[in-house]
Chains A and B, each alone.
Chain A
Amino acid sequence: MTNSIREIRDADCLFIIGSNTTEAHPVLAMEMKRAALRGAKLIVADPRKIWLSGMADHYLQLKPGTDVALLNGMAHVIIAEGLTDSGFITEHTEGFEAVRAQVRDWTPERASAVCGVPADEIRAAARLYATTHRAGIYYTLGITEHTHGTDNVYGLSNLVLMTGHLGRESSGLNPLRGQNNVQGANDAGASPVFYPGYQRVTDPEAQAHFEAAWGVPLDPDPGLNLNEMMKEIRSGGLRGLFVMGEDILMSEPNVSELEKSMPALEALIVQDIFLTLTAERADVVFPASCFAEKEGTFTNSERRVQRVRKAVEPPGQARADWEILLALTERCGYTGNAGMTPPEIYDEMAGLCDKFAGISYARIEAEGGLQWPCPTSDHPGTTYLHSDGPLRGKAQFIPIDYRRSAELPDPDWPMLLSTGRTLYHYNAATQTRREDGVNDKQQTCFVELHPHDGGTLGVTDQQEVTVQTRRGEIVAAVRLTTRVAPGRIWLPMHFSEARANLLTVDDGDGVTGTAEYKVCAARIVC
């Protein structure tokens, strides 16, 4: 997030796209509700009628995977009606002319024909966003889990830059991180292209910096991203896998293909707190600790580094993940970490990264969390980014064009399937499905279907059906609901006996590799 969570309540316009905020980020959504009850205007763009769409001034029910058309249509209106911030564009950006040329043909009518949102609603939303001073954009996986996810983000960033809605309180571009430490895992360099602190592995200076610090030669070439790793297991390029805290057989797309190739792995080491589907296939399983059993830090969506503190002892012989990693690294022949404690590990990382250099456990204890960039020990941290213009030189406009999703419905596979999270469970649900109270609300998998389609298929509410795609099938109970539009179905990803990822495509975004969990073609069989 370029902004802080506390700034949401003071926004006057919130543009929420591809984020079912009340279910995926409930407490942040409370800030959005608070803003709306105060009088802030809400624009909600989502293929599915989410809770917040009922509170919205403009609800844009776009077709899944057509975000670029919608955003280009909005950009067209903003430019055509003279609502850009030309001072900001001149002073802080480059490449605007290319975007202007790109969206010239994207009239609201043309955008509407692709995305299904009425042209006048596109106009109204564009005007409201552009003409409100404190206007923030909030998005999550509805934007990124597409083969054109990066384009979607560029589309949003173009809107931000042309309106100058950046570098102020409550105005900016705010991806909401889906998991507790997505931000921190990226920050810490768990990435095939970045060392800690977003220093590129292909940058010889960065390589030399880390080689000097760690005392070993490092690989100058980028590694495989997660999506590529899964495919390399299938093709035999990847022969050994270490997995900490993920159930890849629940979470990775098109999982039946992955499952078939798992026996070819010569080494599968899993470190987790439960015997997950993936752990059941492992050669070695390390019993790890949950957040309540260890010391450390998480970094939240607003870049705030906060403490994780040990409250109870782990069960049996289970150990903190960091302890296991220190021991394993040493036995794999690298001794540079030996005997370190969590604050020392943090200090080592912070010492190698300008962005976090001023952050330490002592300061977090004293100040209750610090937001990076925080380059020095007397720096107060940064509540919102770009207050002096973009972090690095001028911000770049990127022209984008609409591309179809990888797999769209056809006569044999007539329904468009999207997947997602619900309020009551969490991702692979290894934790939440072991909790009776939330299971009372949601015990089994369901598939949302429009009543009109229910009638056509002769399906009644709660009836069990088979959802099929070219890759697999699952059984789920139908929920007839107008939350989804006709021709589209939606189901949650939480249920190991009805894995959404048997169905999803594994085509990934060209830049990030993030798979297209939000769009594939399906059919319902009764």
Chain B
Amino acid sequence: MAHPDGNRADDKAVSIVIDGRQVNARAGETLLQAAERIGVTIPTLCHDERLAPTGACRMCLVESSDSRRMVPACRHPVVDGLVVQTETERVARHRRGLLSLYAADVDVVPGTELQAHIRRYGLDPGLPAANAPRAGRPDDDNRYVLFQPESCIVCARCTRYCDEIEAVSAITLAHRGSQTTIATVDDVSLLDSTCELCGGCIDTCPTGALVERKSAHRQATFPALKPVRTTCNYCGVGCQFDLQVDAAANEVVRVTSPAPGETTNDGNLCVKGRFAYGFIGHPERLTTPLIRDEAGELVATDWDTALDRAAALLQKTAARHGANSLGFISSSRCTNEENYLVQKLSRAAFGTNNCHQCAAT
């Protein structure tokens, strides 16, 4: 519960040692949070800072002076005087063994957290494929979210995101043991579930088991795409995202969100921001200036002709009826700079204040 002055009840300072370095932390924090603050990266798979920690994947186990067994850093609380070691041979052996089990269980996808961990820590022992397939949803006909069960480690980041952040609980863990999978109620299509297609499940998935269907066939090329950080063009929240660009094809291949905590949207996007980018290169886009010809038809023309015609029409109207017979509608879809230029066109070029942005009514 919040105190009126904004301080929280559990703000007590504690001091611990991580890999030989003194760290000041606050009671209620986890080892993972304390380590991150001093730049010590502990590998995780089921962790997402937006979600309540579960300690399910065992990737973040470290040695801690308060336990004989290794502890999951993502949910182990800091205690004053604790001594923690994150990179011992025992920890490394555990990571190699654990990753071997995951690699035997699933298809490892390039560019994912799982693959990065395998590259960094290696696999030992090498294990044969477990050949214990889990069920997917082959009949799910939604066009955005594709579940590839052969790459799923059942870390449940997706289902917890759906419960705790989007809060629509459209997907859930189902079945038991090696059969455990990500399901909808009665295995219906996401289109027929409570899903709102925010795609947060794709974004949080550490293995590429959840992927955008539109670009899934290009999954292997994702690491080669060029990210361009920009601002969403839909509502006024101003989410930041990365347009993932195939520069040679002049094409936005997919949209990804920045890491949680990095921008105002905290790694979240909605269905429109994440998926509704098909208009960018749409074949119906206007590609040439148009002017109305003598027959009354709109026909293609060049820029000089179009600009001259537009300027002449506006100037003629102003000359005949006065500047206040003109109106300039600017756009809340366009940039600040462009809105500034429209009001300057209205005021400085023509001398009228008849200028308003489109969202005014």
Contacts and interface: CB of A to CB of B under 8 A. Distances in A.
Partners in one complex: yes
A191 B239 CA distance: 25
A272 B286 contact: yes
Contacts of A26: 196, 198, 235, 270-272
Contacts of A334: 344-345, 348-349
B353 A221 contact: yes
A311 B228 contact: yes
Contact of B286 (A216, A318, A321, A322): A318
Contacts of A252: 361
Given A298-B238, A308-B335, A267 B313 contact: yes
Interface in A166-187: 169, 176-187
A203 interface: no
B2 A342 contact: no
Interface string A205-223: 0000010001011110111
B281 A190 contact: no
Contacts, number: 497
Given A327-B303, A329-B341, A514-B360, A300 B329 contact: no
Given A226-B358, A292-B280, A317-B288, A337 B335 contact: no
Interface in B1-53: 1-2, 4, 6
A238 B326 contact: yes
Interface stretch (A77-85, A273-281, A474-482): A273-281
B318 interface: yes
Interface residues of A, number: 155
Given A188-B343, A223-B352, A321 B335 contact: yes
Contact of B287 (A230, A287, A346): A287
Contact of B342 (A37, A244, A508): A244
A326 interface: yes
A516 to B, nearest CB: 10
A33 B165 contact: yes
Interface stretch (B93-101, B131-139, B173-181, B260-268): B260-268
Interface string A338-370: 000010011011000000000000000000110
A287 B310 CA distance: 13
Interface string B313-327: 111111011011111
Interface string B335-351: 11111111111111111
A356 B271 CA distance: 32
Contacts of A300: 231, 236-238, 264
Interface stretch (B83-91, B106-114, B290-298): B290-298
Interface of B: 1-2, 4, 6, 141-144, 164-167, 191, 196-198, 214, 228-240, 243, 245, 250-252, 263-266, 268-273, 275-282, 284-292, 298, 302-303, 306-311, 313-318, 320-321, 323-361
Contacts of B345: 242, 325, 328-329, 332, 334
Interface in A289-327: 290-294, 296-302, 304-313, 315-319, 321-322, 324-327
A193 interface: yes
Contacts of A124: none
A134 interface: yes
A134 to B, nearest CB: 6
B252 A311 contact: yes
Of the listed residues A217, A227, A423, the one surrounded by the most CB atoms of chain B closer than 10 A to its CB is A423
A240 B340 contact: no
A284 B290 contact: yes
A12 B317 CA distance: 56
Contacts of A304: 238, 264
A290 B235 contact: no
A85 to B, nearest CB: 13
Given A285-B298, A287-B286, A189 B331 contact: no
Contacts of A267: 310, 313-314, 316-317, 326
B235 A178 contact: yes
B325 A284 contact: no
A438 B276 contact: yes
A66 interface: no
